[in-house]
A and B are shown apart, each in its own frame.
Chain A
Amino acid sequence: MACATNVKSVTVIATEGLTKRYPRVTALDRLTVDVKPGVTGLVGANGAGKSTLIKLLLGLSSATEGGARVLGLDVATDGAQIRARVGYMPEHDCLPPDVSATEFVVHMARMSGMPATAARERTADTLRHVGLYEERYRPIGGYSTGMKQRVKLAQALVHDPQLVLLDEPTNGLDPVGRDEMLGLIRRVHTDFGISVLVTSHLLGELERTSDHIVVIDGGRLLRADSTSDFTQATASLAVEVTDSEQQLLEKLTAAGLTAHADGRLLLVDIADDDSYDTVRDAVAELGVGLVRMEQRRHRIAEIFRGEGAGHDNHTV
């Protein structure tokens, strides 16, 4: 915090006590979080307030209390300027079926203020970068889900924004498509130099892609950390043995590991690489059969259990 001014200058998104109340529900509750350049994963269950946050960041909805700055611009007053420098990929379908990808992305580039020639050039470039080639001249209606997601990403990137907001970009994709999309998102930052805020309700997939993770639930900030801190805190080992789970649990606890039983499984928090050896030795000493040992990610629900209030203020 000593270099507060420096931090401010490289902050992409900064929210301060950001609150959005609808007549019947509080969608965001005093959210204070700073997002730095890079890929930031925004994780939360459905209805956690992710889409509300994006709407507020684009200046399309006004906050009930508090405020936010995107690329140093105030969301309450500079909405249009923000939207000129930010790309947005919605969660839902947003593509007309009877026009081609090229036609559509050129139009969207012009809607972002690009002159006609530049719009065409950048459309060709961007569609190539997201991996759409010959099919870009065919009507979008005939595309697969994966291709449609690429068009949606292309329209968010075509005007060379400094930041893109991607709302559930892996929704509806099969495992291969999911990996390709996540790789593409990673490249948006590493190769294109564009910061990314990507939402998902799956923590696991964002851990691989993001530099930072922000977890919100019920409109409140639950956790904000760099991904490495996060993974360490969330990595756990599921151990299943043929017998004597209780004794094993006691042994592991005695050896200094944090573990708890979950039905027939023991969930052991991994402190470091030695933890695996400790588990192996403990099982061997008891002389029981080891059915499986498998690495697990905590699901969001488990983080929610472990974290309470008092995490209102975090810097990623």
Chain B
Amino acid sequence: MTVRRIRRRAPLSAALVALTLGATACGGGTGGVADQGGGGDTLTLWHMEQPPNRVEAWQALIDRYNETDPEFPVEQQVQDWNQIYTKIAGAVQSNTQPDILFTIPDFTTYVRPLGKVRPVTDVVEELDGEHRYIEAATAPYTDEDEVWAVPMYGMVQMLWYREDLLAEAGITEAPETWEDLLAAAEAATGDGRSGIALPAGKNLATDQVIYSFMLTNGAGDFFTEDGQPDFDRPEVVETFEFYDRLMEFSPPDSANYSWGEPQAAFNSGAAAMAIEKGQYLMPFEEESGRPAEDLGCAPIPQPADGGQPGSIYYSNAAMVLSEDDARAEAAEDFLAWLLQPENYGEFLNAEPGLFLPLTEDGVEAESWTSHEVITTYRDCVDQMLEQSRSGALFGFVGGQYVDEIGNISGQNVLAQVIQQIAVEGRDPAEAVAAGQQMMLDAVQG
């Protein structure tokens, strides 16, 4: 080939390589698995709790377990929620899945069809006998008469408010109803401050806050008995109308908010209220510069007429995916060890206040209750435990087990509906109808 011909073809070759590289990156390949999972003499644990304090706390616990000289020592590998769907599929295909994979209910419905999840019914029954699980812990992992993951800790949403900022606005009582909440948000808005900071980006944070309000309005169960979406209902529309009204008192760029932005606004004093889980407790004093007494908490406000207590609540659990029985048994032993009251508190206090106990003896475990954050905010912690009793999760309400819920939550349909209303100005009834169609498409594939 002459130099001239090479010169002629060089741009085309460069173009082909560049576009092929990009295209294959977008393609249907299963991707590489950087951190290979199970195998060897260690049990591999994958979890998605990335904050360093959580990783360090769990590593300390794992080190302590490994000092007991188990047959299979445990090694944790931290994963990313945004990548775990790809990674676990690739790992299962290449038989390098972890022995233990932490999960939430809808993620379990995604992983089970991959074919490696082992039922853990026997060990969960044993643990229930020993520690007495609360009912909501195991229900979302129970399907086809088997339990598919060992429940480890719970999470529930609350209304968080700045007592100092609400007092400035003349509000002395925590909002109990939707109307109270709107009034408080309006009163606290002004002078560069927002009454409430709400997420409205296309993400799970938005889904969850909206769902908490849906529960309080009796719209938490939006599936028929045979698992088909039943979303287009008046109470759903009402909830989205309410959320849209509330967003008037949220920062103007809320349409791009996820987990972090409302908390930052709340702690910096740029917003007086927020709705989230217990991760607000630990950093409050340091980040806000205010005393712990200024952090108020209350159950999710409900409609004055016909409302009911409710909040999104779900147990996080651990699936066992070991290839052979010996490793599976060792994985179960490790999980059982974690749930022993003397260890459980240390496990939960990786993020005190966010990770709530799921067992009766865990609630009373000194290893949990003695933590400074728990003692400082004991009233809020108790309220969270109480709120947990009325908590639920979409797709798993009242014993449901919707196999395709992962398809719906994965696409953030609830967040997409509020974006249509708040960003595009679409009529709530139309947006909810569009959401119904999105859910049908997601379920039918």
A pairs with B: no
A contact set with B: CB distance below 8 Å: none
